[in-house]
Amino acid sequence: MKILIIEDDLSFQEILRKALEQERYIVEVAPNYRTGLIKLSDYTYDCILLDINLPDGNGLSLLRELKAMKKAGSLIIISARDTIEDKVEGLDLGADDYLAKPFHLAELLSRIKSVMRRGNQGGDQFVRYGNVKVNPHTFDVWVADTKIDLSRKEFDTLLYFIQRPTRLVSKTMLAEAIWGDHFDDVDNYDFVYAQIKNLRKRLATCNASIEIVAVYGMGYKLIEN
Amino acid sequence: MKLTTHAIRNLMLPLLLIFMAWAAIFYVILSDELIDEVDDQLEVYSEQIIRRFLAGDTLADSVGGSNNTYYIRPISEVEYQHDSGVEYEFKDIYIESRREAEPARVMHTIFEGANDDYWKLTVMTPVYERNEVISTILIAGIILLVVMLLVIIGVFAWVFVRHTQPLYRVLDHLDNYTIGKRQPLHNDTDVTEFQRLNKSVDACINRIEEAYERERRFIGDASHELQTPLAICQNRIELMMEDDTLTEQQMIELAKMQQTMGELIRLNKTLLFLSKIENNQFIGHTTVDINAKLRLQMETLSEVYASKGITANLYEKGQWVLGANDELMSSLVSNLLRNAYLHNHEGGCIDVYITHDALSIANTGDDAALDTTRLFDRFYKAHHDKKHSNGLGLSIVKAICEATGLTVRYSYEGGKHIFTVGTSEQKKR
């Protein structure tokens, strides 16, 4: 799997590269519009991470160029701008996803996986881990070969974890993802704990081979037994 | 006191004094003139009498045709020598024809008779007619002066009001001015001073606008520029936490660091959000159902704040549907509700009322009204110990209301803090 990162901030570029390489992706980088355009026309990538604000051009025109080349490969915009208008513009131009800075690395990784899965036309729409598979579009959850029913919040929680297996998920991250908005003013995360407890119980009774474990003082992690 | 009233009052006092002085001088001159005339007549009269007396004519009846009276009496030589001659005086005399005492002008004179004898002649003429003339003239004069005074004040007021119009237009302009929403000043005038005032006001507003614009852009730019470094910092910590060789203690420290980074990032995002609202960057307009938003968010928040044991009730007295930006309306409802939960005490309650054009959220909390002058300020915290509040929630509410033409009011009634958001028509009622 080859990924191209077009990002002018070298420090940020380095982090993205490290994080992706840890996930065993092959990573190429381009610090500006010109290099990005050359790499895009010379090679094909499975996924492209594109920063919109480049020193020598607009990332969106690079996106137009790419679409004109009719090359395969997913594209995720990473931008410091996060208005709905910016997102709509980027997605309308053919980007597969739009991620506003700052974001969690885990979020980026799950988005990459998700767009690649979607790019994989006709392929498997399921997110799998252990003997559990989840279809994010039909909200179906299967453990081994048995379909199970989960409440809306339980499903959202499971999906969030299964897209980021083995990664640490903090309570704040989870609260933001499932309950929406931001909850830095909440002084008690019992509601997250209650949700996790229910989901754990469900997974255990269905004999799932995966488990959500608490990481003391930090949050939770989905692991395979 | 209005400028016109002030000016008229200040004009009236000197005018009144001047007119009074005029009236007094006029009176003195007029009566002097009339007395002079009477004296002249008396002199002519006395000369006639003396001439006749010396000629030995029989003197006319003292009363004569007129009300003039005279009498002659002999005096000694000594008296004659010591007399000062002609003398005038005012005296009340009894007048036969009118049967009453009347003011009269009296003239005394002395003369030497034909036989070395000396005489003193006293002639008198009543002056009531003249007094009547004087008072008539005086009254007419006073009426004239009063009318003149009124006319002067009327004309002055009219001219003054007409010419100070530009001043009031400038004042209205300044009253209606709100920072960031300047209207052009329409104030045509030929008066140099007002032209200067217009220019100064315009220049002053320009400076305010520029400063405000700079500040606004600074906050926006600063928050925007902070995004990437914050992202880098957060992601470096995350990357580091992937390292399995770290000890648990180190991991916990990193998690704490990450927690703080998270707060910083959210704070920055909120500032950016505020700055975008103020720059009117939320342009998408849809039909928003506030009732639905309320129900959804109240459900979520009651779950999130379940540990506080707060009772929340929603009273739907109407359906509020309005055309606005969906994201902004969600944020408005969410911030108001979160404010009610956050600044509540354990086991408190929240009452939410919604009508077709207003939303009001009443919550228990501190036992005192909040400082309304600072309530909506950025980073204002009624209590510094509320470590989980960033003090921006109500600023966002205010900014959204201003951007969408809604009004927000705060009141403290019956131990409850009440925030009411409504359309501007609702406020007028």
Tens of pLDDT, residue by residue over B233-275, are: 999 998 888 888 888 888 888 888 888 888 888 888 888 888 8
A102: preceding bond cis by omega (within 30 degrees): yes
pLDDT class of B419 with cuts at 50, 70, 90? very high
* Domain positions in chain A: 2-119, 127-224
Of chain A residues 139-158, which have a CB less than 8 A from chain B? Answer: none
For residues B326 and B288, the answer to whether their CB atoms sit within 8 Å is yes
Residues of A in contact with B302 (CB under 8 A): none
Interchain pair B300, A11: CB under 8 A? no
For residue range A120-138, list pLDDT tens digits in order.
Answer: 655 567 888 889 988 888 8
For residue range B366-416, list pLDDT tens digits in order.
Answer: 888 888 888 888 888 776 555 567 788 899 999 999 888 899 999 999 889
DSSP letters spanning B249-277: HHHHHHHHHHHHHHHHHHHHHHHHHHHHH
Q: What is the mean pLDDT of residues A104-129?
A: 80
Q: Which of A9, A78, A154, A184 to mutate to test the interface with B (most CBs of B within 10 A)?
A: A184
| Architecture of the domain made up of A2-119 | 3-Layer(aba) Sandwich (3.40)
Among chain B residues, the shortest Cα distance to A108 is held by B235
Tell me whether domains A2-119 and A127-224 share a fold: no
Residues of A in contact with B258 (CB under 8 A): 170
The topology under which CATH files domain B192-278 is Helix Hairpins (1.10.287)
- The helix/strand/coil state of B281 is coil
- Least Cα separation, residue A70 to chain B (angstroms): 31
Q: What is the mean pLDDT of residues B111-136?
A: 83
Q: What is the mean pLDDT of residues A174-188?
A: 72
Distance CA A91, CA A110 (A): 18
B258 reaches A (C-beta below 8 A)? yes
Q: Tell me, what's the pLDDT at B57?
A: 75
**CA B42 distance to own-chain centroid:** 66
Place of tokens 């109407």: B318
Distance CA B218, CA B226 (A): 12
Among chain A residues, the shortest Cα distance to B298 is held by A179
* Domain positions in chain B: 3-160, 192-278, 286-428
B188 reaches A (C-beta below 8 A)? no
Of A105, A191, A216, nearest to B303 by CB-CB distance is A191
Question: Within 13 Å and on the Cβ side, how many CA atoms surround B109?
Answer: 18
Of chain B residues 295-324, which have a CB less than 8 A from chain A? Answer: 300, 303-308
Cα distance between the two ends of chain B: 31
Of chain B residues 209-238, which have a CB less than 8 A from chain A? Answer: 224, 227-228, 230-232, 234-236, 238
CATH of domain B286-428: 3.30.565.10
Residues in chain A: 225
Question: Domain A127-224's class?
Answer: mainly alpha
The topology under which CATH files domain B3-160 is Beta-Lactamase (3.30.450)
Q: Can you give the pTM of this predicted structure?
A: 0.67
For residues A82 and B216, the answer to whether their CB atoms sit within 8 Å is no
The answer to whether ipTM exceeds 0.90 is no
